[in-house]
Amino acid sequence: MVKRLLCLVVLALVAVAPTASAATPAVYKNCTNLNKKYPHGLGQTTAKDHVSSGKPVTNFTKSNARFAEAMKYNKGLDRDHDHIACEKH
């Protein structure tokens, strides 16, 4: 009886568990979506753009909390690891 109840509970949890793509808000799925909301990128307040040529981006949206949330859902948004997601030059 206990084993049967445990199986039912496990099956119920699996049935309602969200998939990875369903759990990720659309704004964090890719840089195209993120740039619609944050046109010049989203970064930590102390972030500096790492750029080998040209001028570094300085007008990105600065928010530690929003950047942390973006990284929680999609670490690929900050490919160069400069703590600015999807910066546009």
3-state secondary structure labels for all residues of the chain: CHHHHHHHHHHHHHHHCCCHHHHCCHHHCCHHHHHHHCCCCEECCCCCCCCCCCCCCCCCEECHHHHHHHHHHCHHHCCCCCCEECCCC
For strands 42-43 and 84-85, give the pairing: antiparallel
Does the pTM surpass 0.75? The reply is: no
pLDDT, tens digit, 9 for 90 and up, residues 24-67 = 899 999 999 999 999 999 999 999 998 877 889 999 999 999 99
Residue whose pair of structure tokens reads 């808000």 in the numeric block? 25
Q: What percent of the chain has pLDDT over 90?
A: 64
> What amino acid occupies position 27?
V
